[in-house]
């Protein structure tokens, strides 16, 4: 009864157009007041306790770092370096755009930020040299999803906080899948380019490549500072986020000088706005999770699955279907906060590695970024290109098929996700 009321209220509120945070909070509050013995004081305490997790402190810092880099000219320098490296290949500018998305993903932690930073420059550039706008937009919409798979990743931080798993291991687990997906996209572009005879750029000299690398080095260094610091045990992932924010500020204001000191308050304000919105969703989702746990819902679901005698591979099919459907309607962090507490205990009982499960979650969230009606990357791409939303959807779906194939590979070949963290930290370390 409690479960039915909770989810009915949630979907009714969402159908009425309420923001996800308000819908989560109100449905939880109603169930607690009428069906559970908790007091209002305990609810307020629970609400604010969610903000005390040190893992969540990484979120505002990564958002701030991403905004400094997006506002500055770091993305443009990364694009120039990528073009000088692979631009001479068939479809070279599109391949370079994917490479630039991989670079920027490794410093931003956000998928929409990657689409904005890279897409606002390269889509117009690709159209100018002979690509269709649909082709260019489809490539960037899907390549931009690497922003949450290649670490650092805000979505990974949310999963780690929700399931109490290691952020460091999750970050390392995303490296190989991120590189693999980027490579698959680049190979697909190369094949299409050979078939359609797409344009290529003049081959850059070694001097031009070295020069573009020097220009981009301060942005690329952030990748090694964050990942090297975590791997080397110099600082925790949360501390790495703070270091990234300070470094991004220093690089944008004092090294590249793309950002004036007078512009910094605006960057801080924009970052604060996004942080407050995301943290409010997280707090209400934790309250929702508290209701689920109190009502024994995850345990009931686990018992039902065990009674059905599902094998791990069958269970993962169910997980992927749930996440793919949810990705059509909800924001990634909200999905993780709602679904992970329900699925996680059963997955662990079936012997599925929590880190592997986390990467499966993230890849599903990537796909949700490019599926209507709530795919954030679609709206961002529509905004920067002026294309109608449905045209952006049509331009993206062919590349989306590649992401679905990649999801199957990642789901059933756990070594892709686990080999690097197990090598670096040992099984269960980090």
Give the tens place of pLDDT for each residue, 281-307. 777 777 777 777 677 666 676 677 767
Q: What is the mean pLDDT of residues 358-379?
A: 88
What pLDDT does residue 186 have?
Answer: 95
Ramachandran sector of residue 164 (left: φ over 0; alpha: ψ -120 to 50; beta: rest): left
Q: In the structure encoding, which two tokens stand for residue 261, read together?
A: 């000191």
Token look-up 């990748």 returns 223
- Identify the band that residue 416 occupies on the pLDDT scale cut at 50, 70 and 90: very high
Percent of the chain with pLDDT over 90: 29
CA-CA distance, 379 to 387, in Å (whole number)?
10
- Identify the band that residue 141 occupies on the pLDDT scale cut at 50, 70 and 90: very high
Please state which of the ranges 75-79, 306-310, 345-349, 353-357 shows the lowest mean pLDDT.
306-310
Q: In the structure encoding, which two tokens stand for residue 159, read together?
A: 């999963």
Report in angstroms the alpha-carbon separations of 398 from 32, 46, 289, 336, 393: 45, 44, 36, 26, 10
Q: What is the mean pLDDT of residues 109-125?
A: 85
What pLDDT does residue 52 have?
Answer: 65
Q: What is the mean pLDDT of residues 363-371?
A: 91
Beta strands in 151-272 (DSSP E): none
What pLDDT does residue 173 have?
Answer: 94
Computed over every residue of the chain, the mean pLDDT equals 85
What separation, in Å, do the N-terminal and C-terminal C-alpha atoms of the chain show?
41
Residue that wins the pLDDT comparison between 2 and 34? 34
Q: Is the pLDDT of residue 429 over 60?
A: no
Q: Which residues contact 216 (CB under 8 A, 6 or more apart)?
A: 74, 77, 78, 80, 81, 103
CA-CA distance, 123 to 114, in Å (whole number)?
13
CA-CA distance, 283 to 50, in Å (whole number)?
6
- Identify the band that residue 316 occupies on the pLDDT scale cut at 50, 70 and 90: very high
Q: In the structure encoding, which two tokens stand for residue 315, read together?
A: 């269970």
- Identify the band that residue 213 occupies on the pLDDT scale cut at 50, 70 and 90: very high
Q: Is the pLDDT of residue 72 over 70?
A: no
CA-CA distance, 322 to 6, in Å (whole number)?
18
What pLDDT does residue 298 have?
Answer: 63
Q: In the structure encoding, which two tokens stand for residue 417, read together?
A: 């996700």
CA-CA distance, 191 to 188, in Å (whole number)?
5
Percent of the chain with pLDDT over 70: 91
Residue (of 225, 144, 139, 228) closest to 178 by Cα position? 144
Helix (H/G/I), strand (E/B), else coil: 42: helix
What pLDDT does residue 57 have?
Answer: 77
Residues 228-273 have pLDDT tens digits of 887 777 887 788 888 888 988 998 888 888 888 888 999 899 888 8
Alpha carbon 57 to its chain's center: 17
CA-CA distance, 112 to 95, in Å (whole number)?
19
- Provide the greatest CA pair distance for the chain: 72
Is the previous residue joined to 152 through a cis bond, with omega within 30 degrees of 0? yes
Residue 307: count other Cβ atoms within 10 Å of its Cβ: 8
Token look-up 């059509």 returns 328
What radius of gyration, in Å, describes the C-alpha atoms of the chain? 22
Q: Is the pLDDT of residue 364 over 90?
A: yes
Q: What is the mean pLDDT of residues 64-86?
A: 84
- Identify the band that residue 178 occupies on the pLDDT scale cut at 50, 70 and 90: very high
Is there a contact between 156 and 363 (Cβ–Cβ < 8 Å)? no
Q: Is the pLDDT of residue 152 over 60?
A: yes
Is there a contact between 244 and 269 (Cβ–Cβ < 8 Å)? no
CA-CA distance, 316 to 423, in Å (whole number)?
25
- Identify the band that residue 42 occupies on the pLDDT scale cut at 50, 70 and 90: low
Burial 150-176 (b: 16+ CB within 10 A, else e): bbbbbbbbbbbbbbebbbbbbbbbbbb
Please state which of the ranges 74-78, 354-358, 404-408 shows the lowest mean pLDDT.
74-78
Please state which of the ranges 36-40, 79-83, 163-167, 174-178 shows the lowest mean pLDDT.
36-40
């Amino acid at each position: 009864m409690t479960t039915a009321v909770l989810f009915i209220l949630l979907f009714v509120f969402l159908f009425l157009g309420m923001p996800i945070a308000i819908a989560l909070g109100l449905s939880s509050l109603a169930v607690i007041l009428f069906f559970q013995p908790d007091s209002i004081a305990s609810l307020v305490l629970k609400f604010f306790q969610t903000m005390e997790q040190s893992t969540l402190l990484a979120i505002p810092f990564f958002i701030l770092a991403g905004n400094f880099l997006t506002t500055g000219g770091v993305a443009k320098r990364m694009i120039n370096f990528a073009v000088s490296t692979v631009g001479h290949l068939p479809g070279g500018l599109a391949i370079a755009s994917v490479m630039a998305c991989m670079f920027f993903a490794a410093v931003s932690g956000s998928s929409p930020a990657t689409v904005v930073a890279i897409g606002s420059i390269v889509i117009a550039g690709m159209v100018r040299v002979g690509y269709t706008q649909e082709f260019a937009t489809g490539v960037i919409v899907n390549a931009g999803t690497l922003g949450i798979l290649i670490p650092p990743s805000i979505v990974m931080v949310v999963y780690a906080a929700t399931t109490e798993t290691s952020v460091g291991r999750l970050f390392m687990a995303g490296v190989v899948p991120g590189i693999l997906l980027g490579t698959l996209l680049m190979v697909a572009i190369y094949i299409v380019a050979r078939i359609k005879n797409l344009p290529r750029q003049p081959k850059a000299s070694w001097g031009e490549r070295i020069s573009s690398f020097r220009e981009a080095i301060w942005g690329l260094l952030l990748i090694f500072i964050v990942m090297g610091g975590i791997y080397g045990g110099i600082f925790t992932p949360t501390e790495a986020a703070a270091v990234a924010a300070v470094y991004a500020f220093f690089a944008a204001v004092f090294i590249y000088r793309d950002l004036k000191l007078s512009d910094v308050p605006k960057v801080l304000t924009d970052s604060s706005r996004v942080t407050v919105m995301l943290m409010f969703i997280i707090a209400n989702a934790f309250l929702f999770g508290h209701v689920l746990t109190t009502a024994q819902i995850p345990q009931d679901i686990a018992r039902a699955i065990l009674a059905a005698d599902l094998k791990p591979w069958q269970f993962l099919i169910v997980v992927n279907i749930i996440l793919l459907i949810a990705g059509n309607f909800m924001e990634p962090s909200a999905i993780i906060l709602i679904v992970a507490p329900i699925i996680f205990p059963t997955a662990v009982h079936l012997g599925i590695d929590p880190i592997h499960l986390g990467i499966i979650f993230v890849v599903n969230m990537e796909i949700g970024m490019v599926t209507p009606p709530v795919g954030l990357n679609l709206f961002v791409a529509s905004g920067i290109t002026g294309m109608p939303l449905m045209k952006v959807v049509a331009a993206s779906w062919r590349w989306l098929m590649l992401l679905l194939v990649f999801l199957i590979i990642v789901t059933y070949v756990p070594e892709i996700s686990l080999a690097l963290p197990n090598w670096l930290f040992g099984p269960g370390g980090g």
